[in-house]
Amino acid sequence: MINKVFKPIFSATFSISMLTIFLMSCTENKSIDLENNDSIVIENSRLDGQVDSLLNLMTLEEKIGQMNQYNGFMDFTGPVPDEDESEMKYEHIKMGYVGSMLNVRGVEEVRAVQRIAVEESRLGIPLIFGYDVIHGYRTMSPIPLAEAASWDLEAVEESARLAAKEASAAGINWTFAPMVDISRDARWGRVMEGAGEDPFLGSEIAKARVQGFQGDDLAHKESIVACAKHFAAYGFPEAGREYNNADLGTSTLYNSVLPPFKAANDAGVRTFMNSFNQLNGIPATANDFLLRDILKEKWQFEGFVVSDWGSIAELVPHGFAPDGTAAARLAANAGTDMDMESNLYVNELAGLVKSGKVDIKTIDDAVKRILKVKFELGLFDDPYRYCNLESEKNVIGSKEIQEGALDMALKSIVLLKNENQLLPLNKANKKVVLIGALASDKNSPLGNWRATAVDDSAISVLEGMQEYNENIIYSRGPELVVGKTAFSKEVKINDSDVSGFQEAIQTAKNADVVVLVLGEHGLQSGEGRSRSELGLPGLQQKLLEDVYQVNKNIVLVLNNGRPLAIPWAKENIPAIVEVWQLGSQSGNAIAKVLYGDYNPSGKLPMTFPRSVGQVPIYYNGKSTGRPNLPSPDFVFWSHYQDVPNDPLWVFGHGLSYTDFEYSNLQIVDNFSKDKSIKITVDLKNAGPVKGKEVVQLYIRDSYSKVVRPLKELKGFQLIDLEVMESREVVFNLTENDLGYFDNEGNWFCDPGTFDVFLGGSSNTEINSSFELTF
């Protein structure tokens, strides 16, 4: 009878399934708390009622099925596969033993597999389709680290919105982004995927990206579910090596690692993803302190937690579980709600429940969380809502998406150095020579985590500059990589073939300006792409120095996915532009900045080291007992023998084609009255062109219960000024800005002296202080 009555019947013109009608009726006569006519309370009560009603219809195996995610394993528009594993997974979908699919994309494929779930399974519960939409779906925006360099929260949110729009048009309704891991180690390849080293900036960008992906209404056809990852401390791997252990104190955990995750939760993110690392000896996937105590209890997170790829099974090689059965038990009891591709939940959990080793309440809680997100997406109203061929055709790669990628790319560029106003280039100057294999590369600028981007689809620097000078002279120089690169393979760097060297040097001799495009290939950063050295890979440093010997008027354009240690370049090259990997519109954005049609305003979200030996290096470190050199011949203080302590470029650094002047820093202490400190500073554009400045506010708590950093970012504003225009910039600090977490996770705000710093980078010397009293 259940099969006949409640099995929904769907079609291309599907509206509401019989199951959904039943679920709606289950809440009609229930008492709902209408306190203060709060629509959110009403909606949550309605959803909870629907979820509970559906849960009562499900068998234990069907519940566990919702906790199971499979990777795409076949062409769903083709015949049923013959392979044993693929056939098993296909049958599991028909049996209702799958809650989500990973890497199934495109309207036809998504519709085909969704049809199996909703038309052939007993209860017809729709699937949610996940994909790594990190900085775009088909059209690539800049890598996330580059977007963070914009410090433009509206632009970052818009970039995520456009990525969601493009992905949703292809049937995707869940992205495994944003990565909100704070990291201080440029050796770690995944710094390209985050927002850098600072928890305040990282928190603001986390909120912007969540809001961009999810919008105001998850049921909107252009919204997709966001996922805050990797929970937690994944950005602190020992030696900067991917998947390595993390070893950090609770002060760092509470004050640096967790804030962006809390910000994502406060912004309404519906899913979290585990990290691969251990924390205090407990792998994150089975860490009930993280998942139960903090996330689900203290923070009251209402969505669900998904494992990272196979991380439940990896509890065994971690040495935390003796076998897969124990791994499934440990992960489920700790609070991991969905198993990504280890197959352990679907194979082991039913037996664990029946043996009493996993409580059925644990299963029910996980399934409720998953089903509620599906209801919020509107999948029970229309499981094919993301399957519109016309939208797929019109949205993907559209003019709106491309223009958004260009806008984000422009705002992500950081001018690191510009001696003698070598930039912007003179448009009338015909003797500009462009050199470097990366200058004509149309693939590397797409960066890593490029989703479905078409290889060689980016606008190259050469193409962008040819829009300004179609006769520009280009010399490729030596190759950066050996052979063709592929997403899943290591990039082999050329360190021996000097073909093209002499041609490049000869071409540079008679140029008025040489534009050298150097850096990393787009696939040298990302997951599994750690580096032990941070210089220019391969033969590029030699090329730079050899060109310098014949022409010192060099503009160095850096393509990279992480901070690089390039002290020789900083010392000798007059103009250096950090352009990262900017995505599909890379060359157009770079050319606009080089020729002055766009005034760069980006600021570094990570510190650039002088040497890899300084790593991890970050601006918000803490003082030691011996921080300074007391006398010229004193050796016993915190320093290196071979390089200074300070970095190559500090966090927050970035120049402009105009000059900004700061003056009249004022502090109004009203903390005893309205619990706020008002800080003002006057900013003037004293240079020759219109420009934007990121005004940054830092504080220092002079003494406290737990030692605080030398500087902490607590506010920033992006100010756009005409030539000679001035503006008063106002900040307000509250207890939330002045306090911190102690080593047990308790919030404190100490009385005492606070120093305030305002300026265009973390190295600002404009400062004053106030005394906080209670």
* CB contact at 8 A, 577 and 557: yes
% pLDDT > 70, the chain: 94
pLDDT greater at residue 672 or residue 205: 205
**Token pair of 298, please?**
């203290």
Confidence of residue 83 (pLDDT cuts 50, 70, 90): confident
Q: Is the peptide bond before 170 cis (omega within 30 degrees of 0)?
A: no
**Helix axes of 360-376 and 324-334: crossing angle, nearest 10 degrees:** 60
Q: What is the mean pLDDT of residues 652-670?
A: 95
> What residue segments make up the domains of the chain, in order of their start?
402-614, 660-772
Kindly tell me if the per-residue pLDDT of 6 is higher than 90.
no
Confidence of residue 411 (pLDDT cuts 50, 70, 90): very high
pLDDT in tens, 26-61: 544 433 344 554 655 667 778 889 999 999 999 999
Task: Report the distance separating Cα 525 and Cα 707, nearest Å.
Answer: 34
Q: Which amino acid is at 712?
A: E
Q: What is the pLDDT of residue 638?
A: 93
| Distance set, CA 719 to CA 163, 624, 665, 684, 730 (Å) | 26, 36, 16, 10, 11
Q: What is the mean pLDDT of residues 204-227?
A: 97
Confidence of residue 351 (pLDDT cuts 50, 70, 90): very high
Confidence of residue 17 (pLDDT cuts 50, 70, 90): very low
Q: What is the pLDDT of residue 39?
A: 59
Q: What is the pLDDT of residue 16?
A: 40
Confidence of residue 672 (pLDDT cuts 50, 70, 90): confident
Confidence of residue 85 (pLDDT cuts 50, 70, 90): confident
Among the CATH numbers 2.30.42.10, 2.60.40.10, 3.40.50.2300, 1.10.30.50, which is that of 660-772?
2.60.40.10
Q: What is the pLDDT of residue 424?
A: 97
Q: Which residues contact 25 (CB under 8 A, 6 or more apart)?
A: none
Q: What is the pLDDT of residue 143?
A: 98
308 flagged as catalytic = yes
pLDDT in tens, 574-604: 999 999 999 999 999 999 999 999 999 999 9
| Residue 294 DSSP SS3 | helix
Q: What is the mean pLDDT of residues 555-570?
A: 98
pLDDT in tens, 674-710: 789 999 999 999 999 999 999 999 999 999 999 999 9
Q: What is the pLDDT of residue 12?
A: 35
Q: What is the pLDDT of residue 7?
A: 40
When the pLDDT of each residue in the chain is averaged and rounded to a whole number, the result is: 93
Q: What is the pLDDT of residue 673?
A: 75
Q: What is the mean pLDDT of residues 605-634?
A: 94
Which among 185, 308, 339, 407 is annotated as catalytic? 308
- Contacts of 92-95 with CB under 8 Å at 24 or more apart are 92/65, 92/68, 92/346, 93/117, 93/120, 93/121, 93/127, 94/120, 94/121, 95/61, 95/65, 95/121, 95/122
% pLDDT > 90, the chain: 87
| Residue 67 DSSP SS3 | coil
pLDDT greater at residue 141 or residue 21: 141
Q: What is the pLDDT of residue 78?
A: 66
Q: What is the mean pLDDT of residues 393-405?
A: 98
Q: What is the pLDDT of residue 31?
A: 39
pTM of the model: 0.94
Q: What is the pLDDT of residue 19?
A: 54
Q: What is the pLDDT of residue 21?
A: 44
Please tell me the CATH code under which domain 402-614 is placed.
Answer: 3.40.50.1700
